[in-house]
Structure 1
Amino acid sequence: MVSNFFTGSIPSSMGKLQNSQYLSLARNRLSGQIPSSLGNISQLNRLYLRENNLHGSIPSSLGDCRSLQLMDLSFNNLSGTIPKEVIGLSSLSIFLKLGSNSLTGSLPLEVSNLKNIGGLQLSDNKLSGEIPGAMGNCESLEFLELQNNFFQGTIPPALSNLKVFLSCLIATLCWMRKSRKKSSPKSTLEDPHMKISYAELHKATDGFSSGKLIGVGSYGSVYKGILDHNGRVIAVKVINLQQKGASKSFLAECEALRNIRHRNLVKIITSCSSLDYKGNDFKALVFEFVPNGSLEKWLHLKSDGQHQVRNLSLIQRLNIAIDVASALDYLHHDCQTPIAHCDLKPSNVLLDESMSAHVGDFGLARFLSERTTHFSKNETSSVAIKGSIGYVAPEYGLGGDVSTCGDVYSYGILLLEIFTGRRPTGDMFKDGLSLHEFAKMALPDRVLEIVDPRLLEEEVEEANDSQAFNNLQRREDKRRRMWDCLVSVIRTGVACSVESPKERMQMRDVVMEMHVIKDTFLQAGVHRER
Structure 2
Amino acid sequence: MLNPLYITMQSRKAHLCLPEPERSEQKQPAFGRNMVGAGLPVLVSLLLALAASTGSAHIPHAGTAASNSSDHSALLSFKALIRDDPLQALGSWGNRSTPMCQWHGVACGRRGRRRGRVVALDLGDLNLLGAVSASVANLTFLRRLRLAGNRLNGAVPSALGHLRYLKRLNLSDNSLDGAIPPSLSRCRQLDSISLGYNRLKGKIPRELAALPNLGLLELGRNELQGEIPHELGSLHNLVVLDLGHNKLGGTIPAEISNLVNLEYVDISNNKLTGEIPPGIEYGLGNQVSIHGDVYSYGILLLEMFSGKRPTESRFGESFGLHKYVQMALPERAAEVIDRDLLAETEDGKESSSNSNSNMDLRIACITSVLRTGISCSQETPTDRIQIGGALKELLAIRDRFDKEMCAEGEPAN
Q: Which has the larger radius of gyration?
A: 1
Could you say which TM-score interval applies, normalised by the shorter chain? Answer: 0.3 to 0.5
Q: TM-score, normalised by structure 1?
A: 0.37
Q: TM-score, normalised by structure 2?
A: 0.47
